[in-house]
Amino acid sequence: MIDLKRDGDVFVLRFDAGENRFHPDFIDAVGVALDEVERTEGPGALVTVGTGKFYSNGLDLEWLGANRDRFEEYLRTVNALYARFLSLPVPTVAALNGHAFAGGAMLALAHDFAVMRTDRGYFCLPEVDLGMSFTPGMSALIQARLTAPVAHEAMLTGRRYTAAEAQAAGIVARTAAEDQVLPAALELAASLAPKDGKVVGKIRTDMYAGTLAALRGPVF
């Protein structure tokens, strides 16, 4: 489902579950991997990457359909995942090998930077077209990481951003051809790995104190 490897100072967490939707087991497995990343002493950085056409499509709507009574608990778990990334004491880079949709797009925004594949794949918040809204924490995350006009358009129109459009909008830091997405993300992560993770975590946690509070607060 997921796979954690190390490439020099950089951990590579590969999501390997098709659309990489957030099944509770998937979220748990990611949490265990992040525990290992956090435990490691010395220089380090983390790259996450999906497989094939998908980085992640976000919420596991199939699981949710079968567990409607656990909706609130589930949203808390997802928000906690974003909060975990946003407060991780390690620089993080999302390698967007493919679609980053909805919750998967938000996961990308919870990283320090993202590198996006140029030939195909979109960054998209389709909630408005699915009849869904955002938890207060999700709104706070998106609005804290994007400029106001970009957050507005992304959240209210469900626009699908190509890599070039996402870079122009400041959603992703870099773009790369399919086979260069992971190498570019590794390079960026390696350049950040020498930084003191505790300091990175402290600065980031301070910067996004309000966002983290919202992600840890009520989901409705």
Binding residues for a second copy, rule: CB under 8 A, are: 91, 112-113, 127-129, 131-134, 136, 139, 143-149, 151-153, 155-158, 170, 173, 192, 195-196, 199-200, 202-204, 206-207, 209
14 close to 2: Cβ distance less than 8 angstroms: yes
Active site residues: 127
User: By C-beta, is 29 or 154 nearer to a second copy?
Assistant: 154
User: Considering the complex, what minimum distance in angstroms separates the CB of residue 201 from a second copy?
Assistant: 10
**CA distances to 81, 102, 123, 128 from 111, in Å:** 11, 15, 14, 23
User: By C-beta, is 34 or 114 nearer to a second copy?
Assistant: 114
- Alpha carbon distance 83, 13 (integer Å): 17
User: Considering the complex, what minimum distance in angstroms separates the CB of residue 119 from a second copy?
Assistant: 24
User: By C-beta, is 24 or 158 nearer to a second copy?
Assistant: 158
User: By C-beta, is 50 or 91 nearer to a second copy?
Assistant: 91
30 close to 104: Cβ distance less than 8 angstroms: no
- Alpha carbon distance 128, 63 (integer Å): 21
User: Considering the complex, what minimum distance in angstroms separates the CB of residue 206 from a second copy?
Assistant: 5
96 close to 172: Cβ distance less than 8 angstroms: yes
- Residues 6 or more apart whose CB falls under 8 angstroms from that of 197 comprise 44, 89, 90, 91
User: Considering the complex, what minimum distance in angstroms separates the CB of residue 186 from a second copy?
Assistant: 16
